[in-house]
Amino acid sequence: MQEREGEAPARTTGTLGLGGETWAQGACGAEHGPVQGGRVMSPIDQAYRYIAACPPAVSGQNGHNTAFSVVCEVINGFNLDEQQAVTVLTPWNATCQPPWSERELLHKVRDAIRLPHQKPRGHKLRNGVSYRFGASETARNHRPPIHAATPPNGSPAASKATPPAQYEVPDSLELPSPMPDGARRLIEAAFRQGDGIRIALARDNGGKEVPQDAGVTLSREEWLRKLNDAGGDPNKFLRTSARNGIFISVNPMKIGGAKDSDVTEYRHALLEFDEISQVEQWGVISKSRVPCAVVLSSGGRSIHAWVKVDAQNRQEYDDRVKVIYDHFKGYAPDEKNKNPSRFSRLAGCERGTSRQELLAVNLGCETFADWLTEIRADGIGRTITIADLDAVDIEHDPNSLLGRRWLCRGGSCLVIGPSGVGKSSLVMQMASCWALARPAFGITPARALKSLVIQAENDDGDLAEMMRGIRGGLSIEPGSADYGTLLQNLVFHHDSTHTGWDFCQYCQRLIERHRPDLVLLDPLLSFIGADISKQEVCGQFLRNWLNPIADATGVAWLMVHHTGKPPADKAKAQKGWAQSDFSYTGLGSSELTNWARAVLILQEQAEGGFRLITGKRGRRAGATHPDGQPTGILHLSHAEKGIFWQQSGPPANQPEAHAGRPSKVEEIACSNMHEFLAGCLPEGEGQNQIARRLEVWLSNNGTDLSPKSCKRAIAAMVENKKLTKNSEGKYVTGSNK
């Protein structure tokens, strides 16, 4: 809703912050802060308040470590630069016994700035919580403590509703002072180099201000040049004689564009309230920590918040806007502001007897996903009606990523297999196919999917060897269009240090940076950081920490996982198993499989080759044999040259036993025994020793053979030249004679 001319906002001016600046920075780098005694507190104010409660460092009582810990907390916690940190720390340093010299203090500050920190910069910035040195995590941080009910960065999907918000706004709250050079700062904060910015004059339309026309879209650089030529005052080249104010679109546009279809990036959504006072609007926006690129006074009754949604497309934009408006519906946000090309107000422009003023930049949480975490941490879920279900387009579900809704946005898949068989290369090959919108063994992506691979075990050489084999198998040549697509849609990160909650935070940042569809964790054991056999460990990591990330960002997890130790009689133990039963062969708690929406199981076969079983929800995967026939069991093998997985059809049906058919011992002796033979000792093995090793190896691969038959199989391998006896009568391979 556009305000009527002449209705100026109530505002109390005052100088806050450092160096006479008339604004204050706040949480997550925001240029606002907690309110104390009617004033907004800057980061340096908050840092002073924190350090006032810190005991001095005393020599002989771990003084050096105490001092350095305080320095790190001040710099990283309040996002201070070198000079600000020295300013804050100097009074506290004077209380230390003995005080550090200026040079020593500066050295500690510089070390702390260079040092990597587990928590993000600015993590101590927040509204209205008193500091207490040594206080609990709840009192010391704006985020709640980490436990099973508190998810990390990222929370339920943008397509899911959130409970309406209610925020207490203190009577003493006042609006922050306008930021100087507001027009320039708004443009620099909300737009990037090369962006097209649409600006329009306003006219009166029966007491209501509306855009005079579609406006003019020029580049960011051109508008900044005009501002420079006008000494930073937009009124010198934009003001109308009626002084009705100036409009600006909240998102970048094509040069010359004016419609929603001309929006080039779905970066911001406009949030505006009309039924509450400006002070209450400011209180709601700042206390909610909704991520705002800029917040400005319209020069009338309302405050405009440009909420950072950073959507990949119009559908995601609409989903995220719905979340915002549902969350604030108790405050009646203006529903007409939902479209991406919507006009807001340009700061620094005259509007009647008032001005459109910039109040804050980068207010609240850093990202939309971070904000969802906070507002849903204490949520009670969502209500789904039958009407909601009837509205779902099952046949054309936009959330489907793979197969027939086999794996959807926010979903999860386990890929389970024994160690050393090539699980990493298998998932990389599948991700490469999906990156090119190609099916992988019949499992078809809804579109070209971007994958982020976070792995802990393979070094650069391993990854290079795998990718070259995969590219060769898929006929992808450097310089080709497919190669360019693969570069964009397949991203690798190596991480062998983060586990548990720290890994979840790290992962969230990578997802926000790369915006993938799939996140591959290889292997799960490297990242969970605790006893995977315990249900509470798995539940916390998967449900309380990873689920919110997937729900907030729409990514689907694909996790590589190891099988447990095989039973002594594997074939007998798995006899009569249904296809879905194999989903529980992964190491650890059954919570893993219960949590996953899909499961793939890779099994090596005694006769050579592998089976890939689509265990959980397998029929939805759409897997097929090479001839296109649907199947729940894929037959794969390693290529003879390079690292690549080849698919073959199902083995021919075995005939009934009859005279002349090879015995089980003969079949084993003639099969692919490369892995078993590779374990032969150079000095050779006695008959009992090698037969026992064969029995164990066969059992691990699902074949039951008696000790006596194993000795016969060894003899058969001698006959077909796979083994030989050395001069001492011990069994060796041909290369070890």
Amino acid 436: pLDDT: 97
Q: 171 or 117: which carries more pLDDT confidence?
A: 171
Give me the domain span that covers residue 303: 182-376
Q: Number of folded domains in the chain?
A: 4
3-state secondary structure 494-536: ECCCCCHHHHHHHHHHHHHHHCCCEEEEECCHHHHCCCCCCHH
DSSP letter for each residue of 196-222 = EEEEEEEEESSSSEEESSS-EEEEHHH
Lowest-confidence pick of 312-326, 416-430, 586-600, 698-712: 698-712
Distance CA 250, CA 304 (A): 10
Is 389 inside any structural domain?
no
Are the C-beta atoms of 87 and 45 separated by less than 8 Å?
Answer: no
52: in domain: yes
- What would the mean pLDDT of 218-239 be, rounded to a whole number? 91
Q: Mean pLDDT across the stretch 525-548?
A: 92
Both 534 and 636 in one domain: the answer is yes
Closest C-alpha to 372, from 558, 168, 547: 547
pTM: 0.53
* pLDDT for res 357: 95
Confidence of residue 140 (pLDDT cuts 50, 70, 90): very low
Mean pLDDT of 187-211: 90
Report the greatest alpha carbon distance in the chain.
109
Burial 101-122 (b: 16+ CB within 10 A, else e): eeeebbebbeebbeeeeeebbb
Q: Which one of 376, 409, 435 terminates a domain? A: 376
Residues in the chain: 737
CATH of the domain at 423: 3.40.50.300
Residue 132 lies in a domain: no
Model confidence pLDDT, tens digit, residues 504-534: 989 988 998 899 999 999 999 999 999 999 9
What percentage of the chain reaches a pLDDT higher than 90? Answer: 45
Identify the CA nearest to 402 among candidates 528, 557, 530, 545.
557
The answer on 442 and 360 residing in a single domain is no
Asked if the structure places residue 149 within a domain, the reply is no
Q: Which residue bears the tokens 């004016």?
A: 258
pLDDT, position 569: 56
User: Same structural domain for residues 570 and 618?
Assistant: yes
**For position 692, which CATH number holds?**
1.10.10
Pairwise CA distance, residues 10 & 274, whole Å: 14
Answer yes or no: do 269 and 370 share one domain: yes
Residue 414 predicted with pLDDT over 80: yes
Q: How confident is the model at residue 157 (pLDDT cuts 50, 70, 90)?
A: very low
Average pLDDT over residues 276-304: 93
| pLDDT band per the 50, 70, 90 thresholds, residue 18 | very low
Kindly state the average pLDDT of the residues 567-585.
Answer: 56
Q: What is the mean pLDDT of residues 429-454?
A: 97
Query: Is 133's pLDDT higher than 50?
Result: no
Neighbours of 226 (CB within 10 A): 16
Q: Does residue 725 share a domain with residue 596?
A: no
* pLDDT(139) > 50: no
> How many DSSP H helices and E strands does the chain contain?
26, 25
| pLDDT tens-place string over residues 316-369 | 899 899 999 999 988 999 999 999 999 999 999 988 889 999 999 999 999 998
455 and 539 assigned to the same domain:
yes
- The pLDDT-based confidence of 126 (bands split at 50, 70, 90) is low
- Per-residue pLDDT at 568 exceeds 50: yes
Amino acid code (one letter) for 290: V
Do residues 670 and 643 share a domain? no
Residues 634, 679 share a domain? no
Residue 489: band (very low, low, confident or very high) from pLDDT cuts 50, 70, 90: very high
Residue 266 has a CB neighbour count (10 Å cut-off) of: 22
Report which residue type is found at 586. Answer: G
Residue 250 has what pLDDT? 97
Query: Does residue 19 surpass a pLDDT of 70?
Result: no
Most confident of 473-482, 658-667, 697-706: 473-482
Mean pLDDT of 666-678: 80
Measured CA to CA, the distance from residue 422 to residue 430 in angstroms comes to 12
Q: What is the mean pLDDT of residues 115-136?
A: 54
Same domain, 489 and 539: yes
Q: Which of 586, 613, 648 is the last residue of a domain?
A: 648
Beta strands of 100-219 (E only): which ranges?
196-204, 209-211, 216-219
Better-predicted residue by pLDDT, 455 or 94 = 455
| Closest CA relative to residue 607, chosen from 645, 644, 564, 571 | 571
pLDDT number for residue 619: 87
* Higher local confidence (pLDDT), 306 or 103: 306
pLDDT-derived band of residue 156, with 50, 70 and 90 as boundaries?
very low
Average pLDDT score, the chain: 81
Beta-carbon contacts of residue 644 (< 8 Å; ≥ 6 apart): 425, 429, 469, 470, 472, 473, 638
Question: If you ran DSSP here, which 8-state letter would residue 640 be given?
Answer: S
Q: How confident is the model at residue 292 (pLDDT cuts 50, 70, 90)?
A: very high
Average pLDDT on 573-597 reads 72
Task: Write down which residue in 110, 125, 140 finishes a domain.
Answer: 125
pLDDT at 143: 30
Distance separating the N- and C-terminal Cα atoms of the chain: 89
Answer whether 583's CB lies under 8 Å from 615's CB: yes
% of the chain residues with pLDDT over 70: 82
Rg (CA), the chain: 32
Q: Are residues 466 and 498 in the same domain?
A: yes
Residue 571: pLDDT band (50, 70, 90) is: low
pLDDT at 708: 84
The pLDDT value given to residue 1 = 41
For the cut 70, the answer to whether the pLDDT of residue 252 exceeds it is yes
DSSP-based three-state secondary structure for 482: helix
Residues 6+ apart with CB under 8 A from 549: 151, 152, 153, 154, 155, 369, 504, 507, 508, 511, 555
- Say yes or no: 583 and 633 in one domain: yes
Q: Is residue 270 part of a domain?
A: yes
Of 717, 697, 720, nearest to 731 by C-alpha is 717
Question: Does residue 582 share a domain with residue 507?
Answer: yes
Q: Is the dihedral of CA 417, 418, 424, 428 positive or negative?
A: negative
How many angstroms separate the Cα of 269 from the Cα of each of 3, 294, 327? Answer: 19, 11, 14
